[in-house]
Amino acid sequence: MIRYKTEEEIELIRQSSLLVGKTLAEVARHMKAGVKTKTLDQIAESFIRDHNAIPGFKGYGGFPATLCISVNEVVVHGIPGDYVIKEGDLVSIDCGVIIDGYYGDSAYSFMIEPVAKEVRLLAQRTKESLYKGIEQATAGNRLGNVGYAVQSYVESFGYSVVRDLVGHGVGRDLHEKPEVPNYGRQGIGLKLQENLVIAIEPMINLGTRQIFQERDGWTIRTADRRPSAHYEHTIVVRKGNAEVLSTFEYIEDVINKSN
């Protein structure tokens, strides 16, 4: 069952989603070569709790951490640990928080300079594909248009779309109906209505779209061990233009100041 949100609920999801952006910006301040991924996770958990919110991922389905930290060929659901970030890494971080019972969810791929040109372009174009998808998330449009916008854009560069993992509705639950694939055909799928809150999250691979899960039951890697990028916004369907509830602004302020 699809749950359309009231304006009050949308405001709560916005507050949660903005805190995710601020949390990822705090992580960005400490993101550099030589730092362990578990250190970044501890920073995020403390930051979220200091803002009277609850880490949305920790304990969800048994996940052991606050952040999913997925480096290079890890697509999503990487578990923070003793891995030491190094120059050239592409570090995708997914974060969720709960405020007053409502989730916010967003993801960003960080480049630890210097990175290879092909990795930089993959990240840049994956982020661009997210906004291509958001442009299609308007009332009266079909869900297939969102996936088609992402897929057609990234495939034009020879990248591949992960098909086994999708975006989703967001609200009192982290993963609500409907599923939001990053591929599809125009004019098919659910007809989008106002006040539907969804997370759009392209997961785009430099090589094959084939993936596999590690024995830990979480970590998803590309089958060919080539890099993957991941960006995510939580948005609400509106007439005319979708409204983005999460933000990259805080993250990119930190990145721009450090460059």
Residue 2 in domain: no
Confidence at residue 75, expressed as pLDDT on a 0 to 100 scale = 98
Residue 35 in domain: yes
What's the mean pLDDT in 144-168?
98
Instruction: Evaluate if residue 258 carries a pLDDT over 90.
Output: no
How many other C-beta atoms are found inside a 10 Å radius of the C-beta of residue 91? Answer: 22
Question: DSSP assignment, residue 18?
Answer: H
Confidence at residue 259, expressed as pLDDT on a 0 to 100 scale = 78
Instruction: Evaluate if residue 208 carries a pLDDT over 90.
Output: yes
CATH number at residue 237: 3.90.230.10
* Pairwise CA distance, residues 206 & 95, whole Å: 23
Residue 1 in domain: no
The pLDDT confidence band at residue 97, using thresholds 50, 70 and 90, is very high
What's the mean pLDDT in 104-132?
98
Specify burial of residue 4 (Cβ count, 10 A radius: 0-12, 13-18, 19+): middle
Residue 239 in domain: yes
Which secondary structure element, helix H or strand E, spans residue 9, and what is its range? helix 7-30
Report pLDDT digits (tens) over 9-37: 999 999 999 999 999 999 999 999 999 99
Residue 203 in domain: yes
* Pairwise CA distance, residues 229 & 186, whole Å: 24
Confidence at residue 111, expressed as pLDDT on a 0 to 100 scale = 98
| CB neighbour burial string for 14-23, b if at least 16 within 10 angstroms, e if fewer | bbbbbbbbbb
How many other C-beta atoms are found inside a 10 Å radius of the C-beta of residue 202? Answer: 30
Confidence at residue 85, expressed as pLDDT on a 0 to 100 scale = 98
Task: List the structure tokens of 240.
Answer: 């005319």
Of 93, 91, 77, 95, the residue nearest 18 (C-alpha): 95
Residue 100 in domain: yes
SS (H, E, C) 99-139: ECCEEEEEEEEEECCCCCHHHHHHHHHHHHHHHHHHHCCEC
3-state secondary structure of 154: helix
Residue 59 in domain: yes
Instruction: Evaluate if residue 226 carries a pLDDT over 90.
Output: yes
Question: Domain residues for 148?
Answer: 7-258
Per the structure, how many domains does the chain have?
Answer: 1
Contact 67, 84 (CB under 8 A): no
Across the beta sheet with 160-161, the strand order is 160-161, 203-205, 228-230
What's the mean pLDDT in 102-122?
98
Instruction: Evaluate if residue 158 carries a pLDDT over 90.
Output: yes
Of 93, 113, 96, the residue nearest 105 (C-alpha): 96
Average pLDDT of the chain? 98
Which residues is 244 bridged to in the sheet? 235
Residue 105 in domain: yes
